[in-house]
Amino acid sequence: MTRAEADRLRTALGEALTERREFVRTAGTHREDGSYVVERRQADSAGHRKVFESFAALRRLYDELPATFTAPDIEQSGLTGGRRHVLVHHFAEHPDFDCELTKRQPLTARKRDSEGDETAR
């Protein structure tokens, strides 16, 4: 394999391993290194972005939340109020999370798989 062929292959692999999905208010990016980034859609600053070690880490955070939750319920190092709100919106928008927004003030979401069971986690 030539150096040029190897460079093309490396570029193609990087593009295949990186995927960005945009939703109404948020975007999620699977990075080449395995990390997952949640950010406010079209945000210009890192203040509206949270990097997780993997999508599985984001899933664990979601699974630990109560059946109905607000932004302050999302406890994790490095999560400011703005980032917490982005995560609530992302959970409601991303199809891998069975969740919906129920109120805008305060921003509240509910896990659909636990409807009727407010004590479920």
- Alpha-carbon dihedral angle through residues 68, 70, 73, 74, given to the nearest 10 degrees: 110
Could you give the CA distance from residue 74 to residue 65 in angstroms, rounded to a whole number?
7
Question: What is the distance of C-alpha 103 from the center of its chain?
Answer: 20
Lowest mean pLDDT among 36-50, 73-87, 105-119: 105-119
**Is the Cβ–Cβ distance between 99 and 107 less than 8 Å?**
no
Residue of higher predicted confidence among 39 and 81:
39
Chain segment 94-109, per-residue pLDDT in tens: 999 999 999 999 999 9
What is the reported pTM? 0.80
